Amino acid sequence: MPKHKTNKSVKKRIRVTKSGKVMHYKTGRRHLNSCHNRKTIRNLNRKASCHDGDAVKMLRMLGKVRP
């Protein structure tokens, strides 16, 4: 059976923690931030965990889970 290639775009966008959680960056912090207050910008800097269904798809794209 052939090996699966790692999806490079997913590899750049997410990180897998030691406990197995899939973390991603929050959206909405690239531009047009002058209307947001500091608290909102600060909270957008934190990473968020993916939902369970999405996490399985991401791990499959990374080659961590068998398809």
pTM beyond 0.85: no
Say yes or no to pLDDT of 5 above 90: no
Q: Establish if 3 belongs to a structural domain.
A: no
CA atoms of 67 and 57, how far apart (whole Å) = 9
Q: Which residue range(s) make up the domain with 20?
A: 8-62
Q: Tell me the per-residue pLDDT of 27-64, one tens digit each, with 9 for 90 and over.
A: 998 999 999 999 999 999 999 999 999 999 999 999 88
| pLDDT > 70 fraction of the chain, expressed in percent and rounded | 96
> Domain holding 23: CATH number?
4.10.410.60
Structural domains in the chain (count): 1
Q: Establish if 2 belongs to a structural domain.
A: no
Q: Establish if 67 belongs to a structural domain.
A: no
Closest CA to 15 of 60, 65, 58, 52: 58
Please report where in the chains the tokens 């923690």 appear, as a residue: 17
Q: Establish if 1 belongs to a structural domain.
A: no
What pLDDT does residue 11 have? Answer: 93
Q: Establish if 38 belongs to a structural domain.
A: yes
